[in-house]
Structure 1
Amino acid sequence: MLEINLNENEINFKDLEVEIYKLVCEEACKIMAQILMKIDDMLLEKRDKKEYRCKGKKHTNVKTIMGTVEFDKRIYGHINSEGKKEYVYLLDEYLKMDTIGHISTNLIEKVVENVTEISYREAAKNIESLTNQSISHTTAWNIIQKIGEKIAELEKQDIKLFKENKLRGEKETKILFQEMDGLWLSMQGKDRPKGKKSRGKKEIKLAVAYDGWVKRSPGSNEYITHNKIACAGFASSKEFKELVDATIAKEYNIDEIEIKIINGDGASWIKESLGEEGVYFQLDPFHKSQAVIRNVENKKDARKLMKMLDEGKAEESLEYIAKLMIEQKDDEKQMKKLEKLYNYLVANKEGIKPYQKREEIKIPEAPEGIEYKHLGTMENNIFDTLASRMNAGKMSWTEKGANNLAKILALKTSGKLYSVVETYFNVIISKEKLTEIKEEIKLSAADVNKKQKKAKTYRIQRGGMPFEGCAMTNSRKAIREILRYKCLSELKVI
């Protein structure tokens, strides 16, 4: 326990709070270790002694938010269903302890919570200041890779189920809005593409889907997307389409979806679903306006053209650009820009008119509380989901590192990240097991409540410098000089 001497020590509430917190965490780690070892003892007695042969104990540890819990657990040898000999820890199987590098689920969640907002180094510092545990930025990185790989594994399973027509979500909607865009990331090492065109960057894809808009709060004029889901990653056009389709099918009953509006900048991978029944493309309003601003130098002409495009007047817009090209025929630079804009709009002509103004799209009546508004949230989604974390400062990525973090960020946007972490990295305990564990906790708590023996207090002995008041020889001077700069515990005997 803390021994405080008000006459000798300077103390403040902040330091006292930290010291008590550390003491409580240290005691909690000891209690946790006792409980785990008592459960291990219980399993030793209850096991099938013919099937599981005890081969001794192994000292191990688990990093938790309380600190590092160190304990011993028994290893058992047995013959598996295939007739092969293998070694297992009954304690791990009993508690379903699927940890990442001996790190508890609570600590994993703290790491994920921080890494999705700030860099790995800053996240490691945050963990140390917020818990009684210290981890390196490399450990934080490893945790994210493990979770990202698990998400990718689950995505592959979903794609397989979707192809087998076995994936059916519970949410129902007649119209689904789907927006897609890419984020160009600076790559490093062997993943950095060569050539001037790429500039050392690769595009990571992001897709979001939702069934409409709702008011942020009653009486508010702000709207947010409803039932939004997201997925992301490095993938080919075909692979990403499969991922998007599976992600939607897992959440929504796709048999009920009559209309799907796809909003994007016109990239070929975004249009993979065009041609399917009930699927329509809309050119993203932001990218549409951006293309005009970048390629039409005269601001008055640019405003007029943007108004035409917003009203969905595709033919008139193209005719107006052609007129500008004739007027600017002597300006080679402006001609090239106008030609680029013309070709871009021709390639995406079917998506120029907003979906609400198309006769061929019969928009169903919106459910109560939901509205169907103008599309164009993708730039915000790109920033909020990926760019704010992955494109800040001078960051560069490996393909593996970026892919895994992007999948985590997309799952966070969907509001499903922590449920996945809990499902696949948590200790899942049945009611029966919980009752047994509670009994062990009571026993450990009883030990804490026992009257403790009075401990002796060993005070620090203080004394003067060696050879004080003695005749000074050269050797004595040398010893005094060493001790002036070193404490006794730092000295080594050779």
Structure 2
Amino acid sequence: MISSMYNSIQHFNEFGVKKIENEIKNFMEGNKNIVGLILALQKILFELGRDIITEVLENMDEYLRNSGVRKKKWEIVRKDKNRILTSFGIVTYERTYFKPKMGGKRHHLVDDMVGIKPHEKMSEDVIINAVDEAAESSYRKAGEKASYMNEISKQAVMDKIHNLDFTTTETKKHKKKDIKTLYIEADEDHVHLQQKGINKSKYNIAMPKIVYVHEGIDAEKSSKSRKRLKNVKYFGGMYENTEKLWLEAADYIDKQYNMNYVEKIYISGDGASWIRQGVKWIEKSKFVLDGYHLKKCIITATAHLNNEIIRQELKDAVDWPDREEVKKVFKEILSLTENKTKKGAVKRAEQYILNNWDGIEIRAEEGIGIIGCSTEGHVSHIFSSRLSSRPKGWSKIGVGKMSKLLIYKGNGGKVYDLVMAQKMKREKEEKEQIQDELIKEARSIANRYNDTWDIRPTAIVRGEKTGLYNEIRAIMGRI
């Protein structure tokens, strides 16, 4: 006799509700604060969640055992117990091991139906929780928060991060926009890598790149203290060949904007060769030296003199811009600099400004149309707060995957969509033709389980063959 599909709900109705009433009574009488009440309710409700999952899986397995079409195609081998970690905690259930009568691989069919792979120890919801938390804090904390009462190791979290597949994410196509001016800003972070071997180097770093496209300042969302950019789209990660990064940005622009309407695209950054390379790939683009690095360079060249007049002279020469005047001011700065190390810093600052003179001239000529570059703020927001602001050693693959994850989330992507898209891709690749028909029809069982919440638990009697049971039998009979 098949037990009622609703034993867990009936049991909760009889005993769980009483537990909740007692917890509320204790709270109202002042024996517990709000934290105690929340934790007590969480424990009770998560226990119900585990019971429901166990019951659903075991009843689905029982339907398969009794299915007429199953008896024609599959033989029962044995029953096995399985444990899988979920957000509710560890769920333990029994399921049947079947073998095909016509030969082939043996399967726990109910696991196939619900997407549990052989030897899989945690459900996707746990992975989603872990990945989401890992992007904000650390692998260790992500492991602690991934599941109620049961934590997973930081090694397991790292493995999940390393196995993320970002090729499943695509840019949604929209009607192309008519925008006259676009802005691209680019920079890189400096992330310390793990030190291995006897030849440890303090310069062992990785430099994930970031490029973002936007339409300028969003006046509606900006305030006096904080400027917000309009329709920002991020690209980035670890790239051996940055041409691929610029091609991604170029492809996005081509899909989102009407290039016949676009008049100018400004590429702003610190003048690194890989940033300047973007002009070759982005149509109608010009390089602009960003204000942050220019200001930093002026300060570096003059700070040791503690002379505001000469600093203003250099700034005025750059803002004008007057190349010969810049050289003249630097000559004066060097004459006043005695320290050899400081002289070297001044010479490097001068060389930096002269090497990026084209980007400085663009700022002067088209200053009205060029908004302030904000790459440092965005690098900090997207990368630095997780990758480089706190002392830690990363692996190269860890930097690569985490930077991609941070870019993905910065674009508004949901970890749920990422993990489930990867799961669907994997299932599609692994799907076996021999069980397609059975799994396709039987999967509808899960959809119909929603109907249980419309049935009053008090109307359920142990051993009753419910309408849901009969309906599923009819489905199985048609396979």
Alignment-derived partner of residue 423 in structure 1: 421
- In the alignment, the residues of structure 2 paired with residue 100 and residue 178 of structure 1 have an alpha-carbon distance, to the nearest angstrom, of 46
* Distance 1:285-1:376 versus aligned 2 partners, 3 A rule: same
- In the alignment, the residues of structure 2 paired with residue 205 and residue 100 of structure 1 have an alpha-carbon distance, to the nearest angstrom, of 37
Normalising by structure 1, what TM-score?
0.70
The answer on whether the counterparts of 1:97 and 1:425 sit within 8 Å (CA) in structure 2 is: no
- In the alignment, the residues of structure 2 paired with residue 56 and residue 211 of structure 1 have an alpha-carbon distance, to the nearest angstrom, of 62
- Per the TM alignment, residue 19 of structure 1 is displaced from its structure 2 partner at its CA by 3.0
- Per the TM alignment, residue 185 of structure 1 is displaced from its structure 2 partner at its CA by 1.4
Moved over 6 A (4+): 2-7, 218-221, 430-435, 444-447, 450-453
Q: Which stretch has the larger CA shift, 178-187 or 46-55? A: 46-55
The answer on whether the counterparts of 2:127 and 2:146 sit within 8 Å (CA) in structure 1 is: no
- Per the TM alignment, residue 325 of structure 1 is displaced from its structure 2 partner at its CA by 5.6
- Per the TM alignment, residue 265 of structure 1 is displaced from its structure 2 partner at its CA by 1.0
- In the alignment, the residues of structure 1 paired with residue 423 and residue 157 of structure 2 have an alpha-carbon distance, to the nearest angstrom, of 15
Matched, 1:224 2:233: no
User: Residue 355 of structure 2 is aligned with which of 331, 347, 351?
Assistant: 347
What amino acid does structure 1 have at the position aligned with 2:352? Y
Matched, 1:395 2:389: no
User: Residue 299 of structure 2 is aligned with which of 289, 293, 308?
Assistant: 293
What is the DSSP-based 3-state SS (H/G/I as helix, E as strand, rest coil) of the residue aligned with 2:84? strand
The answer on whether the counterparts of 2:189 and 2:207 sit within 8 Å (CA) in structure 1 is: yes
- Per the TM alignment, residue 51 of structure 1 is displaced from its structure 2 partner at its CA by 5.4
Equivalent pairs, count: 418
Normalising by structure 2, what TM-score?
0.72
What is the DSSP-based 3-state SS (H/G/I as helix, E as strand, rest coil) of the residue aligned with 1:282? strand
Alignment-derived partner of residue 128 in structure 2: 109
What is the DSSP-based 3-state SS (H/G/I as helix, E as strand, rest coil) of the residue aligned with 2:288? strand
The answer on whether the counterparts of 2:50 and 2:89 sit within 8 Å (CA) in structure 1 is: yes
* Distance 1:322-1:221 versus aligned 2 partners, 3 A rule: closer
Give the gaps of 5 or more residues in structure 1. Answer: 364-371, 454-494
| Identity fraction in percent | 18
Matched, 1:264 2:269: yes
Alignment-derived partner of residue 189 in structure 2: 183
What is the DSSP-based 3-state SS (H/G/I as helix, E as strand, rest coil) of the residue aligned with 1:224? coil
- In the alignment, the residues of structure 2 paired with residue 22 and residue 434 of structure 1 have an alpha-carbon distance, to the nearest angstrom, of 30
Higher helix fraction: Structure 1 or Structure 2? 2
What are the superposed Cα offsets for residues 103-146 of structure 1, whole Å, 9 maximum, x if unpaired? 33433333233222212223334456xx4543333333333223
What is the DSSP-based 3-state SS (H/G/I as helix, E as strand, rest coil) of the residue aligned with 1:288? helix
User: Residue 211 of structure 1 is aligned with which of 208, 215, 218?
Assistant: 215
The answer on whether the counterparts of 1:100 and 1:146 sit within 8 Å (CA) in structure 2 is: no
The answer on whether the counterparts of 2:215 and 2:232 sit within 8 Å (CA) in structure 1 is: yes
Q: How does 1:50-69 map to 2 (within 5 A)?
A: 54-69=76-91
What is the DSSP-based 3-state SS (H/G/I as helix, E as strand, rest coil) of the residue aligned with 2:349? helix
What amino acid does structure 2 have at the position aligned with 1:23? I
Alignment-derived partner of residue 205 in structure 2: 201
Matched, 1:404 2:404: no
Matched, 1:305 2:327: no
What are the superposed Cα offsets for residues 52-95 of structure 1, whole Å, 9 maximum, x if unpaired? 55544443233222222222334455599xxx943445434434
Alignment-derived partner of residue 280 in structure 1: 286
Give the gaps of 5 or more residues in structure 2. Answer: 1-14, 428-438, 463-479
Alignment-derived partner of residue 315 in structure 1: 323
- In the alignment, the residues of structure 2 paired with residue 85 and residue 314 of structure 1 have an alpha-carbon distance, to the nearest angstrom, of 79
Matched, 1:24 2:32: no
- Per the TM alignment, residue 408 of structure 1 is displaced from its structure 2 partner at its CA by 0.8
* Distance 1:217-1:189 versus aligned 2 partners, 3 A rule: closer
| RMSD between aligned residues | 4.3
